Chains A and B, each alone.
Chain A
Amino acid sequence: MKTDRIKFLVFALVVLLIPLPLSGGYLTNVLIFVGINSVLALGLNLLLGYAGQISLGQAAFFGLGAYGSGVLTTAYAMNPWLAMIAVALCVAAFAFAIGFPVLRLKGHYLAMATLGVGVIVNIALNETVELTGGPSGLSGIPNLQVGSLTFDSDLKNYYLVWVFALGMILLSLNLVNSRFGRGLRAIHDSEVAARVMGVNARLMKVQVFTLSAFMSAIMGSLYCHVMTFISPSSFGFSMSVELLTMVVIGGLGSVYGSILGALLLTLLPEMLRTFQDYDIIVYGLLLITMTIYLPGGLAEGIPALFRRLVPVRKVTEGSDA
């Protein structure tokens, strides 16, 4: 408990101090997206790594959040903060409603169904041209404001996004180390046994699905206000796969792993500029090799490597956060 708190405080401190030496440069801009992707990956990880339920449609919730905020604040000139909350609640309600039939499915069928939901949402974003601007995108979305402070620079946006991200990371850490998190992990290990132990598996799966949708929608809203321009291609199947890759690389069932995965997969394409669209080759290789050789992801691999290098020191077990 205590060490978890300290770990988080150190992490938060690092996050808050990093941009100071960077003075708002290009890297700060990239780190904004690391923050957004961290929360998206974390949302998926709660579902996939903890409850053991796959979703290949996470990008849809992200997209709905972005477009919800984007449309409401441009065409309807709604207050962005109000829009963010309203949209997130609507997306959560949508996820809750489809969650019951979708999460009754298991394994491959669940994957296909969530994929289907994702594709349908993406098609809808492309086709409702009068509302969303269709494939050419939606522009002119205002920056967020608090009083007279407008979030219009990379540095300001960095803090905006990361304050949200840190909050959600903290809440997720609390959640996974609680009665609720134990229930999720029990469902993952053996759904039959969990239900016989009185765990309402069906409801909890839908709840965590809803939570992940809520988190993704909030990040979508932030994304649209940071970018001021959005297009449907950012919220398609390839984004869902990218999120899946982040979770698998970072480690299924590890909160900090998701952040690490998001960091690597957001920086990687930036570092390999010449590589551009071919990053999917790397993702593909990573997904296959990690699943075969390091199913616990880096969150398990790095400590294991560390233990091998420093064999004397005994690393304590059980910190799965």
Chain B
Amino acid sequence: MELLNQVTQFVISGLATGAIYALIGLSFAIIFNSTGIINFAQGEFVMLGGVLTIFSLNVLHLPLVAAIVVAVAVTTIIGLVFERLAIRPLKNATPLALIIITIGASILIRGLVMLLWGKDTQALPAFSGTDPISIAGATLLPQHLWIFGVTILVIVGCRLFFNHTISGKAMRACSFNRRAANLVGISVGRMVLFSFVISAAVGSLAGVIIAPLTMTAYDVGVMLGLKGFCAAIMGGMGSGLGTVLGGLILGTLESLGAGLISSGYKDAIAFFILLLILFIRPQGLFKKGETERV
């Protein structure tokens, strides 16, 4: 019974971090689908969400809701500026050049945050207290509920946006065939910009809602970003349910592995899964393989 309770506990906290990975994975997929870029600075958007919220709260003394809005808005602007200054001027956009540039942006953002706010780990207070709610012998924090709630809202929001608005449909058109999208009058350049903006917003939101649980600092982006990528890979780089499932599976496995085997290797679990999937099923867990036309 003791073990069962423990396992339930691990699964609950795993699902919560998994939901975060799912959101980050989604933000990877949004950019990838309309541009073919894997943005190595994605984790920094997540980090910025948390760090900027704390800054707005503690230094600007804004109320929590306003602080979150400011953090997400500023991160979104940074995403926009990033696309304008680093992605757009690139003439010969080979994957190699894009990898190097996004890595450059990632360490640049990280360095600037370190310069401005130092290296300390900071915590964001939980949104609605820390009184645990007891379910089936395991405890659930109010923050967990926030995470699940926000994640579901964002996913539903993205669904609606991509399926029911002109801009969303145009972005999907770009993901299927950029040339054809351009021919029917869609401004591909603007869609690329949009994708960075939306992706930065989603990523930073993920950073905001996880900050009360895990604390945040200038360097949390790397790990969070990579795990989000892992979730996206598991879901086949789609912006749908696959990525969400990928995130939840990853979060749960990681939490169980850390709790039952060894906490030191917690981060290695995610990478081990990542490598396994890249080697065995690079098309994702839930998709059928297809020959790519050269």
**Chain A directly contacts chain B within the complex, with at least one CB pair under 8 Å:** yes
Chain B contact residues: over half helix, strand or loop, or mixed?
helix
Is the beta-carbon distance between B107 and A284 smaller than 8 angstroms?
Answer: yes
Interface pairs (30), CB distance under 8 Å: A56-B103, A104-B279, A108-B98, A111-B38, A111-B99, A112-B278, A113-B275, A116-B271, A120-B268, A123-B264, A127-B262, A127-B265, A192-B294, A278-B114, A281-B107, A281-B111, A284-B105, A284-B108, A284-B110, A284-B111, A285-B108, A286-B104, A287-B101, A288-B101, A288-B105, A291-B90, A291-B100, A291-B104, A292-B86, A292-B89
Could you mark each residue 103-142 of chain A with 1 if its beta carbon is under 8 Å from any beta carbon of chain B, else 0? 0111111011101110110011011000000000000000
The minimal Cβ–Cβ distance linking B227 to chain A, given in whole angstroms, is 11
Residues of A within 8 A of B103 (CB): 56, 241, 244, 287
Identify the closest chain B residue to A237 (Cβ). B222
How long is the Cα–Cα vector from A153 to B222 in the complex, in angstroms? Answer: 38
Identify the closest chain A residue to B90 (Cβ). A292
Of the candidates B89, B108, B282, the one having the most CB atoms from chain A within 10 angstroms of its own CB is B108
Is the beta-carbon distance between B278 and A285 smaller than 8 angstroms?
Answer: no
Could you mark each residue 283-314 of chain A with 1 if its beta carbon is under 8 Å from any beta carbon of chain B, else 0? 11111100110010000000000000000000
> Given A124-B268, A278-B114, A280-B111, do A292 and B274 touch, yes or no (CB 8 Å)?
no
Is the beta-carbon distance between A108 and B108 smaller than 8 angstroms?
Answer: no
Is the beta-carbon distance between A108 and B38 smaller than 8 angstroms?
Answer: yes
How long is the Cα–Cα vector from A113 to B279 in the complex, in angstroms? Answer: 9
> Given A112-B278, A280-B107, do A244 and B100 touch, yes or no (CB 8 Å)?
yes
A residues 68-118 touching B (CB-CB < 8 Å):
101-102, 104-109, 111-113, 115-117
B57 within 8 A of A: no
List residues of chain B with CB under 8 Å of any chain A CB: 37-38, 40, 85-86, 89-92, 95-101, 103-112, 114-115, 119, 222, 226, 229, 233, 262, 264-265, 267-268, 271-272, 274-275, 278-279, 282, 294
The minimal Cβ–Cβ distance linking A98 to chain B, given in whole angstroms, is 9
Identify the closest chain A residue to B294 (Cβ). A192
Identify the closest chain A residue to B38 (Cβ). A108
Of the candidates B85, B89, B109, B111, the one having the most CB atoms from chain A within 10 angstroms of its own CB is B111
Is the beta-carbon distance between B101 and A116 smaller than 8 angstroms?
Answer: no
Which 6 A-B residue pairings sit nearest by Cβ, starting from the closest? A284-B108, A287-B104, A281-B111, A107-B95, A108-B38, A116-B271
Residues of A within 8 A of B110 (CB): 280, 284
How long is the Cα–Cα vector from A294 to B185 in the complex, in angstroms? Answer: 33
Chain A residues touching B, range: 35 or more
Is the beta-carbon distance between B108 and A119 smaller than 8 angstroms?
Answer: no
Is the beta-carbon distance between B264 and A126 smaller than 8 angstroms?
Answer: yes
Residues of A within 8 A of B275 (CB): 113, 116-117, 120
Residues of B within 8 A of A126 (CB): 264
Known: A109-B233, A111-B40, A241-B107. 7 other contacts (CB 8 A): A52-B96, A54-B99, A115-B226, A123-B267, A192-B294, A277-B114, A281-B115
Q: Among the listed A105, A107, A278, A291, which residue makes an inter-chain contact with B111, where contact means beta carbons less than 8 Å apart?
A: A278
Residues of B within 8 A of A279 (CB): 111
Is the beta-carbon distance between B96 and A107 smaller than 8 angstroms?
Answer: yes
Residues of B within 8 A of A278 (CB): 111, 114-115
Is the beta-carbon distance between B264 and A112 smaller than 8 angstroms?
Answer: no
Is the beta-carbon distance between A295 and B92 smaller than 8 angstroms?
Answer: yes
Is the beta-carbon distance between A119 and B101 smaller than 8 angstroms?
Answer: no
How long is the Cα–Cα vector from A238 to B106 in the complex, in angstroms? Answer: 11
Residues of B within 8 A of A56 (CB): 103
Is the beta-carbon distance between A292 and B96 smaller than 8 angstroms?
Answer: no
